[in-house]
Amino acid sequence: ATVAGGAGSNAKAVLKTRMVGGNPPDSFQVHGGAELVNTYVETGLMEPITGLLEEWGVKDKFNQQILEMSSYEGEYYSVPVNVHRSNIMFYNKAVLEENNVEPPTDLASFKEALAKLDEAGVVPLSLGDTNKWPATQIFESLLVSTLGPDGYNGLWNGNTAADDPAVREALVHFNDIMQYVNEDHSALTWQDATQIMHEGEAGFNIMGDWAEGYMKTLGWTPGEEFGWMPVPESEGTFIVITDTFGLPKGAPNPENAKKWLKTIASVEGQDTFNPIKGSIPARLDADKSKYDPYLTSAMEDFAEDTLSPSIAHGSAAPEGFITALNDTINEFITTG
pLDDT given at position 167 = 98
- Please say if the pLDDT value at position 5 is more than 80: no
Rg (CA), the chain: 20
What's the pLDDT at 93? 99
The pLDDT of 87-101, averaged and rounded, is 99
H or E, element range at 291: none
- At the topology level, CATH places domain 6-84+240-306 in D-Maltodextrin-Binding Protein; domain 2 (3.40.190)
Q: What is the mean pLDDT of residues 214-231?
A: 97
Give the pLDDT confidence of 6-57 residue by residue, as tens digits: 556 678 889 999 999 999 999 999 999 999 999 999 999 999 999 999 999 9
Q: How many CB atoms lie within 10 A of CB 284?
A: 14
**Is the pLDDT assigned to residue 273 strictly greater than 80?**
yes
Q: Same CATH topology for 6-84+240-306 and 85-239+316-335? A: yes
Percent helix, strand, coil in the chain, to 5, is 50, 15, 35
Task: Say how far apart CA 268 and CA 286 lie, in whole Å.
Answer: 8
According to CATH, the topology of domain 85-239+316-335 is D-Maltodextrin-Binding Protein; domain 2 (3.40.190)
How much is the pLDDT for 336?
Answer: 67
Reported as half-sphere exposure (CB side, CA atoms, 13 A), residue 125 has a value of: 23
Average pLDDT, the chain: 96
186-211, pLDDT tens digit by residue?
999 999 999 999 999 999 999 999 99
Domain residue ranges in the chain: 6-84+240-306, 85-239+316-335
Residue type, 49: I
Q: What does the pLDDT read at residue 9?
A: 64
Name the strand (E) or helix (H) holding 240. Answer: strand 237-241
CA 67 to chain centre: 16
What share of the chain in percent tops pLDDT 90? 94
The structure's pTM equals: 0.93
